[in-house]
Amino acid sequence: MTIEQKLRVLRHVTAATSYLHAKGVVHGDLTANNILIDSDRNVHLADHGILAMCSEFSGTSYIRNNVRWAAPELFEVPEDEESLAPLKSASDIYSFGCIMLQVLTGRPPYADVRSDHQVIVLILKGKSPQDIESARRRCFLIFHTEVLE
């Protein structure tokens, strides 16, 4: 994909996520795997709200297999097992940042870490994905070449 195509996808994901949030829906499992692009290059979000519904029925955590995109607050342990905090739109925004990182670097967050358990430890310690600095520089260059010219 060209950088223009990548930015278009990110803009569409932003619009779709904003639409969900305006309707009071938190996606809860926003990852690159849930971004679908059809043959006409239309961007669609899949699985929105499914995670919260499944967690509600099972009484367990919202986090399943996508710890690399999960917001740090989703790893917090509730004081009692009955009180699972509701998902918030801020968690989707964090996950979108991880998607941006993946789109711009071509690698998922914490790509150099093999185990999801190790990723959780890094997140709990407040460690950012290692590619974040290169993505920041790339965003700066894109902004100056695409927007300012």
Known catalytic residues are 29
d(CA 148, CA 133): 22
Give me the DSSP letters along 17-36: HHHHHHTT---S---GGGEE
Cα–Cα distance, 125 to 127 (Å, whole number): 6
Please give the Cα distance from 109 to 43 (Å, whole number).
Answer: 21
Find the Cα–Cα–Cα–Cα dihedral 98, 116, 125, 70, rounded to 10°. Answer: 40
Return d(Cα 107, Cα 104) in angstroms, integer: 8
